[in-house]
């Protein structure tokens, strides 16, 4: 199986020994505590599950700036985006060497991790702008990732952590949420060697389904992990529970047995386009995938990135930085000429009218009105689930 990034073995920070976990929970009750931002809590979940191997905790300012500007830490570890714990108010932990970190996304704000504090540093406005512009490619506050990052505090609390739980993901998405450790074990149990990962924050329409099938066939892969984001999205995105139901229905009806693993991970979407695509590659390598599908405008939002920027960035990273390989894909759509889904770049003889394309806005309107989209766009069984969601939202 493919090696984890930067290590011979995964480094999950979740404490799994029951006695040790109970001891740390008891210790946490007496420690100074810090309420995390949602982004920092999501980082804790990813660290806990081994997705962020080989990191041992949150970065300091020097590493965050180095990663933002050069995609590697001060010590030379390749990494595409800062992994930070930014706070507004540090009065409760000032001077403390060991603190409890509380989860803002669970009722009662329970402790999610214990942290050994290496440093508490103030990030200047200039440093924060540098990080923002390098990672997101813009300072425009209309970009949801920029807005979310700039809204976090300017106190950078760095150090290693011991993760005590995986927030709400394991309970709310039981059967879907998996750690990188669990996915590796699942891949091994299935006997897969060549594994394709497909990132999604949306329900999968017919074109997405066919893209997974194309990748598996062309790469001669044993299987595909459809890996959905379960954390916070922007307003208007479809809830994870609905996406999960859609994807599972599609897989059950239209894929052969033991060719697809439906899974999910607990992280807040960054909408960082190219940089987030590289982050996706890092933690997909950590979970055991040998290939990642990177399509048009991967992890993008609005018009902030070019359609293939998220593919081009992989030509810029140092040789050997990652072992996982990229399956670059163009926009896929149903061809009236060929009576199947094709990648547009592979159909040079086609005119726009040769494709069946429904805009996202029109598709949402149709679903909300109870109109089944064309079968060339969406599987009818998937469309039924989505229509139920949009109609419930309207009522």
Residues carrying an active site annotation: 201-202
Q: Supply 307's token pair.
A: 């359609």
Q: Could you give the CA distance from residue 44 to residue 57 in angstroms, rounded to a whole number? A: 8
Question: Angle 359-278-280 (CA atoms, 0-180°, nearest 5)?
Answer: 70
Report yes or no: 136 and 203 within 8 Å, Cβ to Cβ.
no
Q: What is the DSSP letter of 352?
A: G
Tallying the residues shown for the chain, one arrives at 395
Q: Please choose, from the candidates 139, 129, 119, 111, the residue with its C-alpha nearest in 3D space to the C-alpha of residue 57.
A: 119
Q: Please choose, from the candidates 347, 320, 317, the residue with its C-alpha nearest in 3D space to the C-alpha of residue 332.
A: 347
Sheet holding 340-343, edge to edge: 340-343, 332-335, 355-356
Q: Could you give the CA distance from residue 232 to residue 47 in angstroms, rounded to a whole number? A: 17
Q: Could you give the CA distance from residue 91 to residue 200 in angstroms, rounded to a whole number? A: 39
Q: How many other CB atoms are there within 10 angstroms of residue 232's CB atom?
A: 17
| φ/ψ of residue 356, rounded to 5 | -100, 105
Q: What is the DSSP letter of 72?
A: B
Residues 6+ apart with CB under 8 A from 240: 173, 228, 229, 230, 264
- List the beta strands (DSSP E) in the chain: 33-35, 57-58, 86-87, 98-102, 111-122, 155-163, 195-200, 223-229, 260-265, 291-294, 325-328, 332-335, 340-343, 355-356
- For residue 321, cis peptide bond before it (omega within 30 degrees of 0): no
């Amino acid at each position: 199986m493919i090696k984890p990034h930067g290590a011979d073995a995964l480094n999950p920070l979740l404490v799994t020994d029951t006695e040790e976990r109970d001891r740390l929970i008891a210790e946490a009750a007496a420690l100074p505590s810090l309420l995390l931002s949602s982004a920092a809590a999501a980082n804790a979940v990813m660290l806990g599950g081994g997705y962020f191997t080989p990191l041992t905790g949150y970065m300091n300012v020097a590493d965050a700036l180095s990663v933002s500007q050069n995609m590697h830490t001060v010590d030379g570890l390749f990494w595409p985006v800062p992994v930070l714990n930014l706070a507004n108010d540090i009065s409760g932990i000032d001077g403390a060497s060991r603190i409890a970190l509380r989860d803002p996304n669970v009722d009662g704000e329970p402790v999610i991790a214990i942290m050994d504090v290496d440093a508490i540093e103030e990030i200047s406005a200039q440093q924060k702008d540098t990080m923002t512009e390098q990672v997101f490619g813009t300072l425009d506050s209309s970009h949801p990732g920029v807005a979310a990052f700039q809204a976090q505090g300017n106190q950078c609390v760095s150090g290693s952590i011991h993760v005590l739980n995986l927030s709400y993901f394991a309970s709310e998405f039981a059967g879907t949420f998996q750690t990188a450790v669990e996915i590796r074990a699942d891949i091994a149990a299935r006997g897969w060697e060549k594994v394709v990962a497909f990132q999604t924050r949306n329900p999968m329409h017919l074109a997405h389904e066919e893209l997974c099938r194309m990748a598996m066939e062309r790469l001669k892969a044993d299987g595909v992990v459809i890996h959905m984001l379960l954390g916070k999205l922007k307003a208007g995105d479809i809830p994870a529970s609905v996406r999960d139901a859609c994807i599972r229905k599609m897989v059950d009806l239209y894929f052969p047995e033991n060719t697809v693993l439906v899974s999910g991970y607990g992280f807040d979407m960054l909408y960082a386009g190219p940089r987030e695509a590289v982050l996706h590659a890092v933690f997909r390598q950590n979970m055991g995938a040998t290939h990642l599908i990177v399509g048009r405008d991967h992890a993008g939002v609005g018009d902030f990135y070019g359609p293939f920027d998220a593919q081009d960035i992989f030509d810029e990273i140092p040789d050997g930085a990652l072992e996982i390989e990229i399956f670059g894909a163009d926009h896929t759509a149903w061809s009236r000429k060929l009576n199947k889904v094709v990648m547009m770049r592979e159909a040079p003889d086609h005119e726009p009218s040769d494709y069946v394309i429904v805009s996202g806005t029109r598709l949402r309107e149709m679903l909300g009105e109870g109109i089944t989209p064309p079968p060339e766009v969406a599987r009818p069984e998937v469309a039924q689930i989505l229509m139920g969601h949009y109609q419930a939202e309207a009522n």
